[in-house]
Amino acid sequence: MRKVNLKDIPEQERKSPKGKFGRASKNISIALGREPESLDLSKRHPFDLALVRIPKGKSLCPYHAHAAESELYLVVSGRGSVRDKNGRTEVGPGDAFFFQPGEAHQLSNAGDEDFVYYVIADNPRSGGATGDSCFYPDSGKWAVAKEGSEEVIVKAIETDYYEGEE
């Protein structure tokens, strides 16, 4: 059995250049030995678990939909606003919610204290054939996995399926 304590897991912060988006997270699965690059499920783990904290006035990231990843959320503390195709829903401690692949969503802090939740993903992002891509409906961009754990952000125009192929 592998065991970790949240107090021993370093918090990783990420902020957007203009400050609209921000979060701090503890990747529990990595601390338990998950190897995101591995294709061996015993090393890669069949799911990913993280504890996420969104500061007051911030959103986690832009409104997006995963192509391959399902995500389950459980709110620990604070108040959140969850955007989906039907609008916004307020969430708080004890609330759980789920997004399947293709369901666009965005989480934001809707209160005066940090919004804290756990997220469990069944297909964590990693490179190569095991990767996920995201579509950003508000901007028409895609985040596409490259080799390794890198991703590239692209914005394209619609084209014919066979263009450049024959």
Pairing state between β 151-155 and 134-136: unpaired
Measured over the CA atoms of residue 15, residue 21, residue 25 and residue 29, the dihedral's sign is negative
SS (H, E, C) 128-165: HHHCCCEEECCCCEEEEECCCCCEEEEECCCCCCCCCC
Count up the domains in the chain and report the number. 1
pLDDT digits (tens, 9 = 90+) for 114-123: 999 999 998 6
Q: Quick check: is 60 in a domain?
A: yes
| pLDDT for position 131 | 62
Does the pTM surpass 0.75? The reply is: yes
Average pLDDT of 111-136? Answer: 78
For residue 128, name the pLDDT band (cuts at 50, 70, 90): very low
Residue with tokens 């450049």: 164
Q: Quick check: is 91 in a domain?
A: yes
For residue 165, name the pLDDT band (cuts at 50, 70, 90): confident
Give residue 43's identity as a one-letter amino acid code: K
pLDDT digits (tens, 9 = 90+) for 35-60: 877 777 778 778 889 999 999 999 99
Q: Which domain holds residue 22?
A: 6-125
Measured over the CA atoms of residue 143, residue 147, residue 150 and residue 154, the dihedral's sign is negative
CATH number at residue 62: 2.60.120.10
Q: Quick check: is 101 in a domain?
A: yes
Q: Quick check: is 148 in a domain?
A: no
